Amino acid sequence: MMLQGRNAIVTGSTSGIGLGIAEALAKQGANILINGFGDAAQIEATRAKLAADHGVKVIYSGADMSKPDQIVGMVEQATKELGSVDILVNNAGIQHVSPIEEFPVEKWDAIIAINLSASFHAIRAVVPQMKARKSGRIINLASAHALVASPFKSAYVAAKHGVAGLTKTVALELAEFGITVNAICPGYVLTPLVEKQIPDTMKARNMTHDQVVRDVLLHAQPTKRFVTVEEIGALAVFMASEGGASMTGAIVPMDGGWVAQ
- Which amino acid is located at 102 in the chain? E
| Residues constituting the chain | 261
- In order, the DSSP letters of the chain are -TTTT-EEEESS-SSHHHHHHHHHHHHTT-EEEEE--S-HHHHHHHHHHHHHHHT--EEEE---TT-HHHHHHHHHHHHHHHS---EEEE---------GGG--HHHHHHHHIIIIIHHHHHHHHHHHHHHHHT-EEEEEE--GGGTS--TT-HHHHHHHHHHHHHHHHHHHHHGGGTEEEEEEEE--B--HHHHTHHHHHHHHHT--HHHIIIIIITTT-TT-SPBPHHHHHHHHHHHHSGGGTT--S-EEEESTTGGG-
Catalytic residues: 156
In Å, what is the CA distance from 200 to each residue of 53, 96, 146, 189, 216?
36, 15, 26, 18, 12
| Strand order across the beta sheet in which 7-10 lies | 58-61, 31-35, 7-10, 87-90, 136-141, 179-186, 251-254
Residue whose C-alpha is closest to residue 230's, from 21, 81, 11, 7: 21
Tell me which architecture the domain covering 7-188+228-260 has in CATH. Answer: 3-Layer(aba) Sandwich (3.40)
Sequence ranges of the domains in the chain: 7-188+228-260, 190-226
Task: At 109, give phi and psi (nearest 5°).
Answer: -60, -40
Alpha-carbon gap, residue 74 to 76, rounded angstroms: 5
Which pLDDT tens digits describe the chain residue by residue (261 residues)? 899 999 999 999 999 999 999 999 999 999 999 999 999 999 999 999 999 999 999 999 999 999 999 999 999 999 999 999 999 999 999 998 899 999 999 999 999 999 999 999 999 999 999 999 999 999 999 999 999 999 999 999 999 999 999 999 999 999 999 999 999 999 999 987 788 888 888 998 999 999 999 998 999 999 999 999 999 999 999 999 999 999 999 999 999 999 999
How many CB atoms sit inside 10 A of residue 54's CB?
Answer: 21
All residues at 6 or more sequence positions from 196 whose CB lies less than 8 Å from its CB, including other chains? none
pTM of the model: 0.96
